[in-house]
Structure 1
């Protein structure tokens, strides 16, 4: 995530809003297309009690075959897409992304096996080195004036690196032997997951794809960069949670343990981390945008503030799909996603016709609705009481208040003008961290237990590395 943030900061200074807008459209189309292969997802291997060689070979055969079909489809439609957006160079961009998706298909089967075995360290190395490669290639090419095509070449080289690293982690070359034994089971499992994944990616890309056709590409660039900055708390704090949640909940179910306590505890962790981060981001949007994107992106500041406030309602959504699928409620997981995202896409499309700010304000409609749908469906299978849930939220709300009181004081002293200097923003951040920790202690929030546990875990290691301190 640190590398991704640095990449955003550098590319926002090397490329203009139009170039970024074109890249965002191309990447959005590629993402939607290749998520169709989730209908035959290799994650089916995660929940199986026993996994045979035939299962693994079938998973790869389905994933590779689907990716190849998508690659052919994208390449065939690339000229039409380029014409639709009046950007001829978009054709080559999409073709390169199509080949990248085929290469990356070999990673998904190995990734599913690593997640099944809870080997998240290996997954971290694969993903981190892939991101570093992508950033290095993209930034280098942008520096040499490759423009928005830098993103396409960076994606291709990153896919090659991820493939090599995946086989280094699990050198199972025999999975290349075609096999379709039990293929129906993959599609039965992946049917709802694939539909949900395509729906998710379409929902994420749709605002930019619609804006790109009806409004100048500058608006697409502004919305994309505002969305990226607003998503920083999610990327830094919660991105790993989604990867771990499904295998962890699935392990609980396999051992016949209730997931209620784990679900509520995770909700308390998410709200105690995510709420303060989003509100502090809204307060410090001006200096954060200047640091992350540069002074040329001041137009994104009010967008970041509005999107950050709307994101407060997003907190339960990250756990909905993992917990329902782990409990075998694949159909309900898809229904919840379809209802929430389906209505949201209608609202977003309508709002896009009225401009960029109408699109942003629509988030205050769609995110609360998705939150309500998420909780209703989860509660059918994880029967928690609303009073329990409310108590968790109240506790996290107190922690959030403790985190924002310092930054609000700095803002008040500055005449409630958001153009804080970097120095004042740093002071506000330190006050926020101090207030957050103090509130965790005073409220005895469950997250405090995790922090204490981490300190106990890492302090002996840190002390052992100090000169003159014997290791245990």
Structure 2
């Protein structure tokens, strides 16, 4: 088994274990917190995420991953720059918490923002060490550390919610998880010398960080802007509903994209260094990703109502139309996770920033206008903005890859067949549920069987290349199993 395949398996174990904990904790917290309380947490989390993104790219994971030659001085400088910026940002966040809470007309935000600022002081250590483990393809170690962190977040959040900590329960849970992650990474890496202060290569760190941070901030702000607009223009209940809809829509990202993200950057950079044809790499990846993303999102859109009723409960039924709209809009982002790594690999991070500045500001204005018409209008706006953003990104990529529209179309046509087959199977089960022939649990369980079977038929009928990759992955798992299981002599 290749190192990339092994890394994928460990990354998948890491993300899927986290996903199981996410589903469990979300199901429990949805019954302990109201949509309004969850909305306050969502705004706190959104503000913290945007601010964290502003400094993490200055010496963060992407900088350390893209360096061809990584010296101890480079690591120390990256860590030092990140630490200094995080300390300054954390102090600014603490000082401005009161002002932010007044802007949104919700005094409860003050305490949440102040506690979230603690996370900023922990991220430089965990971010630097996690990037070093990723660079060395040590995803097994990362899986163990992340699992410990995710278990802590779930247990602390649920425990505090039961003790009536309200929206602060998941906030404190996030801080507790960050502490555990930092301790685990430190105990595993042990070479504390890389965390000594240094500014020997600060020019290179800042040069990369200016472009990379700009890309990260504008993209994360765009993703979280609807929640901030809704909080200001409507109310925190609308924020809670939209946030839950986003959570369900982004299950594909948690299942697939987040599994691939830690591997994509180092894999593409190494392929580029080896002289590989990046256009071929890109088209192959697009073909594989669309064959999974399109059927998955289509399935979620069709089965949204039974999923919401079983997972979140009847109090969250207003989420269903939002989920369906957002799933359809996100079909346009089938190649989004490849865009930034390709720009980095060809040495054109600047183009990533330029394409974001072209597509995202108009999209933000559209979202702001839609916020005055309600949460469904905000979701519907994505049907226009996401395809526009995808088109701009692909245009800029095509300039470096010599990519023609016909080549991209041919790469995804077989994925469309698999998507239609999946939709037919899911729609049949959804119709039986609505007719009362199947109850919610049996109907959803049937859909989880019928949908994948129809998807597999679609792959088989078109001879999709994904089949070969799935066979290789199965063979790799079979190869690894004897090494993971204890031998008889050890029993």
TM-score using structure 1 length: 0.95
Alignment match, 2:10: none
2:204 equivalent in structure 1: 185
SS at match of 1:354: coil
- The answer as to whether partners of 1:106 and 1:163 remain within 8 angstroms in 2 is yes
Kindly indicate whether the alpha-carbon contact (under 8 Å) linking 1:285 and 1:418 is maintained by their aligned counterparts in 2.
Answer: no
Q: Give the Å deviation of 1:41.
A: 2.7
Which residue is equivalent to 1:445?
464
Structure 2: how far apart are the matches of 1:381 and 1:425?
44
- Unmatched 5+ residue regions in structure 1? none
Select which of 15, 39, 56 maps to 1:21.
39
Cα displacement (A) at 1:411: 3.2
Contact 1:407/1:431 (8 A) holds in 2: yes
Give CA-to-partner distance per residue, 1:329-380, whole Å, 9 cap, x none. Answer: 1111111122222221111111112211111110011011011112111111
Aligned residues: 471
- Aligned partner of 1:151 in structure 2 is 170
Instruction: Map residues 454-465 of structure 1 onto 2, 5 A cutoff.
Output: 454-460=473-479
Residue 121 of structure 1 deviates from its aligned partner by 2.1
Alignment partners' CA distance in 2, 1:397 and 1:245: 24
Counterpart mapping for 1:130-145 below 5 A? 130-145=149-164
Q: CA deviation at 1:462?
A: 5.1
- Are the aligned partners of 1:411 and 1:417 in contact in 2 as well (CA < 8 Å)? no
- Tell me how far 1:85 sits from its aligned partner: 2.3
2:91 to 69, 72, 76: 72
Structure 1 residue 303 corresponds to structure 2 residue 347: no
Paired residue for 1:323, among 337, 342, 349?
342
Aligned to 1:426: 445
1:342 aligns with 2:358: no
- Compute the RMSD of aligned alpha carbons: 2.2
In the TM superposition, 1:264-283 aligns within 5 A as 264-283=283-302
**Judging changes above 3 Å, is the alpha-carbon distance between structure 1 residues 415 and 155 closer, same or farther for their aligned structure 2 residues?**
closer
Paired residues of 2:66 and 2:344 also in contact (CA < 8 A): no
Does the C-alpha gap of structure 1 residues 328 and 461 become closer, same or farther in structure 2, counting only changes over 3 Å?
closer
Moved more, 207-216 or 416-425: 416-425
Q: Report the CA distance shift for 1:460/1:324 in structure 2 as closer, same or farther (over 3 A).
A: closer
Counterpart of 2:11 in structure 1 is none
For the Cα contact (< 8 Å) 1:406–1:435, is it kept in 2? yes
Give the distance between the partners of 2:469 and 2:22, measured in 1 at CA. Answer: 26
How far does residue 459 in structure 1 lie from its aligned partner after superposition?
Answer: 3.0
Contact 2:35 2:241 in 1 (8 A): yes
Q: Is the CA contact (8 Å cut-off) linking 2:432 and 2:443 kept in structure 1?
A: no
Cα distance in 2 for partners of 1:67, 1:21 equals 26
Aligned pairs for 1:95-244 within 5 A: 95-244=114-263
Q: Residues 389 and 177 from structure 1, CA distance in 2 versus in 1: closer, same or farther, beyond 3 angstroms?
A: same
Q: Name the TM-score, length of structure 2 as normaliser.
A: 0.91
Instruction: Tell me the equivalent position of 1:41.
Output: 59
Distance of aligned partners of 1:251 and 1:218 in 2 relative to their CA distance in 1, 3 Å threshold: same
Displacement of 1:104 in angstroms is 2.0
CA gap 1:461/1:70 in 2 versus in 1, 3 angstroms: closer
Tell me the equivalent position of 2:26.
Answer: 8
Distance 1:237 1:212, change over 3 A: same
Question: Which aligned pairs between 1:374-413 and structure 2 lie closer than 5 A?
Answer: 374-413=393-432
What is the CA-CA distance between 1:49 and the residue it aligns to? 2.2
Q: 1:255 to 1:463 in 2, by over 3 A?
A: closer
Q: Aligned partners of 1:15, 1:291: CA distance in 2, in Å?
A: 16
Distance 1:466 1:158, change over 3 A: closer
Return closer, same or farther for 1:132/1:372 CA change in 2, 3 Å cut-off.
same
Provide the C-alpha distance between the structure 1 equivalents of 2:191 and 2:211, rounded to a whole number of angstroms. Answer: 29
Q: CA deviation at 1:225?
A: 0.6
Deviation at 1:433, TM superposition (A): 0.9
- The structural deviation recorded for 1:137 is 0.7
Once the two structures are superposed, residues 257-310 of structure 1 have per-residue CA deviations (whole angstroms, 9 ceiling, x without a partner) of 222222111111111101001111111101111122111111111111111111
Summarize deviations over 1:383-427 as a string: whole Å, max 9, x none: 233222111211100111222221222334456799962211211
State which of 380, 383, 404 in structure 2 corresponds to 1:364.
383
Does the CA contact (< 8 Å) of 2:279 and 2:401 recur in 1? yes
1:115 shift after superposition: 1.8
Are the equivalent residues in 1 in contact too, given 2:211–2:353 (CA < 8 A)?
A: yes
Work out the CA distance in 2 between the residues paired with 1:122 and 1:211: 40
